[in-house]
Amino acid sequence: MQENYVTSVAKVKKRSIVYYTRFARKRYNEKSLTNLKQNLKTDENKMLSKLRNQKEIDDINAHTETYRMAYEAVTKKALKTTLSKQQSSKISEITNVFIQSLLSKYRHGYGFKQRSVTFCTLTLPTAKQNIADKKVISQLVKFIDDIKRVKSYIICPYTKQQTKECALQVENYLWRAETTENGTIHFHILFDTFVNKNTLKRVWNNHLEKLGFEKSYNSAHIHSIKNLRDVGAYVTKYLTKPPIRDKYKNTPLSQLTDIPDSEKFRRPVIGKTWGCSKAVLKLKYIEFVENDQSHLVELTQKMKEYKSELLPDFVTVYVGNVKECLKKCSKELKSIFKRWHQRQYDYLYQVQEKVLEIIEPLKPINYVQLDLF
């Protein structure tokens, strides 16, 4: 049995520390063969593919219901209306590490010519969506490609006029698609630099026109994060929240178990529900292996052990707000976490940022800065 173990690991998440034993080999998944059979190109799967790829539709809600019935008839499974626990956990992990990495090198005096955080929402200027989700999502990908190439000029906070200074161009990002109460799709996007609101609206409107919509400058909104105590928690909430209907939004999900998903949740997105740049996808929470776990003793002492019969014998969990508990710890431990996030930043921007610093060192400028810490 010993050969199945690799090492003892402690993973520090946002609100917990998980001690566990990492296995060398993954156990065989008995469902693998079934999943492979389901992925074969059968006539039924061709029908589902045709429904997913249908571009023009009369009513998105009716189209979704048709797809739901076809999907359940073919797969004998219910169509997922929410993110799985694994998806939510992954989005939460990379979002929080992404933001903390950006903030680890953010300096108030350097203005917007450095990596920052921009969180925005993009919508469709219509009450009734007559275009399939996959086509809209495809246009979103093209929009992101464009926004990475355009120049985003900094706006002076005093005169509200556009300056000749340009912010760094978008390099990394993360997005989530969800639906409104009436079934229209919209997107939440996290960018790694300042994005001019006028530039954002102009580029998004160009892509709305390609979809056949009229321009609407209310279709792009940038969230204010200046006075937030926890930017990561705010963004993660938007990126992972279940698509609960308005009449149930104040009711805990645990009390809605008897209500069918089709009634308590808004319609699901037919297609990819979230995405990010390749580098962001590889971000992970900090881990302490074997003897390095001694550094965490003072942190775990400030947290509470979580006990449950559902936890395996090789897993121990401590819960609490890691950020707040860390403030009460030694400078050495704080420094370990800070260096970790800075290394994640260096991984995200391996060459570009280093070359930029050599050619043109950052200099303080007199713009009002975001209070991100």
CA 200 – CA 178 distance, rounded (Å): 20
- Residue pair 81/183 in contact (Cβ under 8 Å)? The answer is no
Is the pLDDT score of 362 beyond 80? no
Q: What is the pLDDT of residue 5?
A: 58
pLDDT digits (tens, 9 = 90+) for 90-134: 999 999 999 999 999 888 877 778 899 999 999 998 877 888 899
Q: pLDDT tens for residues 341-355?
A: 999 999 999 844 444
| Identity of residue 197 | K
The pLDDT value given to residue 268:
93
Minimum mean pLDDT among 43-52, 121-130, 221-230, 281-290: which range?
43-52
Determine the average pLDDT of the residues in 221-244: 90
Least confident of 19-28, 129-138, 160-169: 19-28
Task: Answer whether residue 313 shows pLDDT above 90.
Answer: no
Answer whether residue 275 shows pLDDT above 90.
yes
Chain centroid to CA 107: 24
- Residue 364: per-residue pLDDT: 38
Q: How many CB atoms lie within 10 A of CB 157?
A: 10
Q: Distance between CA atoms of 4 and 24, rounded to whole angstroms?
A: 5
Q: What is the mean pLDDT of residues 146-151?
A: 92
Q: What is the pLDDT at residue 325? A: 94
Of residues 323 and 31, the one with the higher pLDDT is 323
Burial (CB < 10 A; 0-12, 13-18, 19+), residue 283, is buried
Helices (H), 16-78: 32-38, 43-53, 60-75
Q: Convert the pLDDT of each residue in 37-64 to its tens digit.
A: 555 455 557 778 888 777 778 888 898 9
**Furthest C-alpha separation in the chain:** 69
Residue 21 reports pLDDT greater than 50: yes
The candidate with the shortest Cα–Cα distance to 175, out of 304, 273, 255, is 273
Q: How confident is the model at residue 189 (pLDDT cuts 50, 70, 90)?
A: very high
Task: At 123, give phi and psi (nearest 5°).
Answer: -125, 170
Please answer whether residues 24 and 4 qualify as being in contact, where contact means their C-beta atoms are separated by less than 8 angstroms: yes
Is pLDDT above 80 for 278? yes
pLDDT > 60? residue 206: yes
Chain-centre distance for alpha carbon 195: 18
Question: How far apart are alpha carbons 37 and 42 in whole angstroms?
Answer: 10
Q: For the chain, what are the domain ranges? A: 41-282
What percentage of residues in the chain have a pLDDT greater than 70? Answer: 86
Amino acid at residue number 55:
K
Q: Look at residue 39 in the predicted model and tell me its pLDDT.
A: 52
Is the per-residue pLDDT at 365 higher than 60? no
Position 31 scores a pLDDT of 59
H-run or E-run covering 8: strand 5-12
DSSP 152-186: -EEEPTTT--EEEEEPPPP--EEEEEEE-TTS-EE
Contact 47, 70 (CB under 8 A): yes
pLDDT recorded at residue 363: 39
Write down the H helix ranges in 315-351. 322-326, 331-348
Q: Is the pLDDT of residue 222 over 50?
A: yes
